[in-house]
A and B are shown apart, each in its own frame.
Chain A
Amino acid sequence: MPNFPSPTLVWVHGDSLSPTNPALLTYPDAPAVWDEELLNQWQISRKRIVFIYECLLELPVEIRRGNVMEKLTQLMQEYGAQKLVTTQSPSPRFQHICQELSRQFTLEILAIPPLIPPQKYLDLKRFSRYWKVAEKHIYPH
């Protein structure tokens, strides 16, 4: 742990375990913490934990475990951080945690580069309808 206060803390969660994750790219010197909840949520087996751990070991992060809200709040105080940065995830649990966190801190959620550009309207009723639009944008042809 560095002995100087860092103004920004990066939170790395299980949907974005890449060293090129935009939060780590934007704030390369910030300490980071990992969301352990995804391990506990569905009785995740040992092989999944080992795989995720191996992903983490290639990231410049400090690994913490426990209740995500509590740990993040504690870390923000420890580091004297004013701002928390993370990357987007569709997980409802993630959304909930972000809502709570944004009451206490400045929270920045960075986007992951999308597979297809954002559309004004996208019909998701069945894959075939989505694909009709997606195939036009997904690859040059």
Chain B
Amino acid sequence: MQREFASREDLIAYVTQVFPGAKGAVSETVGGRRAALHKLAQLQPHAYGDTRNYLDGAVTHLSPYLRHGVLTLAEVRDYLQSQGYPWSVVEPFLRQLAWRDYWQKLYEQWGEGIWQDREPYKTGFTAADYGEELPADITNGTTGLLCMDSFSQELQTTGYLHNHVRLWLAAYIIHWRRVKWQTGAAWFLMHLLDGDPASNNLSWQWVASTFSVKPYYFNQENLARYTQQKWCMSCPHLAKTCPFLGSYEQLHKRLFPHAEFPQSHSRLGTRR
């Protein structure tokens, strides 16, 4: 296949021609080792630890490069060490690298089993209660919920979503729309530049509760806080009809009326 291109536009035109089945937008994120090393040099572990759960936080955008082995986890760790950062500063970031290592180790053990429910749902419903199809208003971005419509658009145009957004969108699809996690996971894999079957599917299973002790869900307060109210303020649903409105106790009753699992108030933003 062709190796010489005059410009990125040329490459895009070539890919469009030789992979006619591949549809959609092209991301601004550029592939390759040079881009990866550039991103690595911009890593701010202090700020990462403090702000990573916020949409405008100092996240690294290294995931597509890690997923395709353009950078290895060990290389990134060694880089932090070479910069002399102490453990207390790098611990939050290393924990996220460790998540990827953990998912990969499970993938080695389970293989295609990562597509199956690892455990039953703890939502009070069975797998048969969840739909197979992804509702068109989600992929079209026409649910009317400004946050979710924007997340759907962003996924499909940029191939990237902030980790917190992934959790909200996955929780919305599984728990509010009662769609099987496998359906949502396959949609993410089509689009995420960092789409890795193990990290992706097992995180979806974590949200669904088929690989955790309880489902992950959120409320409006949580989403508004970590997005600096970016969508809520102009959303017509804000005050009355927002499906995410309410306390965790209220949402538990509404979403999982038959389920018993412990309430947790420590889930505001911190993942697992």
Contacts and interface: CB of A to CB of B under 8 A. Distances in A.
A and B are partners in one complex rather than unrelated chains: yes
A57 B32 contact: yes
A134 B64 contact: no
A48 B80 contact: no
B50 interface: no
Interface residues of A, number: 53
B116 interface: no
B20 to A, nearest CB: 10
Contact of A58 (B34, B69, B95, B190): B34
B224 interface: no
A54 B31 contact: yes
Contact of A51 (B74, B159, B272): B159
A48 B3 contact: no
A55 B98 contact: no
Which applies to chain B's interface (DSSP): helix, strand, loop or mixed?
helix
B152 to A, nearest CB: 14
Nearest to A22: B72
Contacts of A130: 98, 102, 105
A120 interface: no
A87 B73 CA distance: 15
B78 to A, nearest CB: 9
Q: Which of under 10, 10 to 19, 20 to 34, or 35 or more describes the interface residues of B?
A: 35 or more
A62 B3 CA distance: 8
A63 B91 CA distance: 39
A6 interface: no
A92 B191 CA distance: 21
Contact of B197 (A91, A116, A138, A140): A91
Interface of B: 1-3, 5, 8, 11-12, 15-16, 18-19, 21-27, 29-35, 64, 68-75, 77, 80-81, 86-88, 90-91, 94-95, 97-99, 101-102, 104-109, 111-112, 156, 158-159, 186, 189-193, 195, 197-198, 212, 272
12 contacts: A16-B69, A45-B191, A46-B19, A47-B158, A53-B15, A54-B35, A57-B32, A115-B73, A116-B98, A127-B99, A130-B105, A140-B87
